[in-house]
């Protein structure tokens, strides 16, 4: 039988505190199975992620359970050798980095994750990678917001231009008659 008031070893408490500290301000956490990755591949992935404001850490599955949002079910995401990819930046850019790296190296295998406290599947992470970047989305939004004003200005300008064409035609007709 396990004692109910089981004391945790100090190193385990320190590990849990470190993981909590690392993911405290993270907007997203993507979980990946890193089985089969060598040091060179891992270093290359970490560098790419770091350039996009993300961090990569290998964690024990039991410690991972403490780091996920409360009430979240890890389910099949916590099977195997798990690495956390987390950060505060743009999750779309990070998903693109992971997708590109996975396309060339076949590793790591995305298990799923959490974006702003909500669970996402591996397929959702792949879909995130297909989205345009924030800057492109902002440009699309700006173009959509400007379109009605631009179209109105164009229509009003066309009315003035058509009046000028009519007056010009009348002037040319009178000149020919004279």
Q: What are the C-alpha distances in Å from 4 to residues 1, 7, 17, 61?
A: 9, 9, 22, 22
Fold entry, domain 10-131: Alpha-Beta Plaits (3.30.70)
For residue 119, the cross-strand partners are 114
In tens, the pLDDT along 124-169 reads: 888 988 988 888 888 999 988 888 888 888 888 888 888 888 888 8
Cα–Cα distance, 174 to 74 (Å, whole number):
85
The whole-angstrom distance between residue 122's C-alpha and the CA centroid of its chain comes to 13
For residue 28, the cross-strand partners are 87, 115
Exposed, middle or buried by CB within 10 Å (0-12, 13-18, 19+), for 116? exposed
Query: Does the global pTM surpass 0.85?
Result: no
The residue ranges of every structural domain in the chain are 10-131, 132-178
């Amino acid at each position: 039988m396990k004692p109910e008031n089981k004391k945790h070893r100090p190193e385990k408490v320190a590990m849990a505190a470190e993981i909590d500290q690392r993911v405290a301000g993270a907007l997203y956490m993507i979980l990946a199975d890193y089985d089969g990755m060598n040091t060179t591949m891992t270093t290359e992935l970490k560098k790419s992620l770091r350039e996009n404001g993300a961090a990569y850490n290998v964690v024990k599955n039991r410690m991972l359970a403490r780091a996920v949002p409360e009430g979240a079910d890890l389910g099949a995401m916590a099977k195997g050798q798990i690495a956390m990819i987390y950060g505060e930046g743009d999750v779309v850019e990070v998903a693109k980095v992971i997708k590109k790296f996975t396309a060339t190296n076949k590793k790591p295998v995305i298990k799923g994750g959490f974006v702003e406290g909500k669970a996402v599947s591996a397929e959702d992470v792949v879909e995130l990678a297909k989205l345009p970047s924030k800057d492109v989305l902002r440009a699309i939004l700006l173009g959509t917001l400007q379109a009605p004003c631009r179209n109105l200005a164009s229509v009003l300008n066309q009315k003035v231009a058509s009046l000028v064409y009519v007056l010009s035609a009348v002037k040319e007709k009178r000149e020919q008659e004279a």
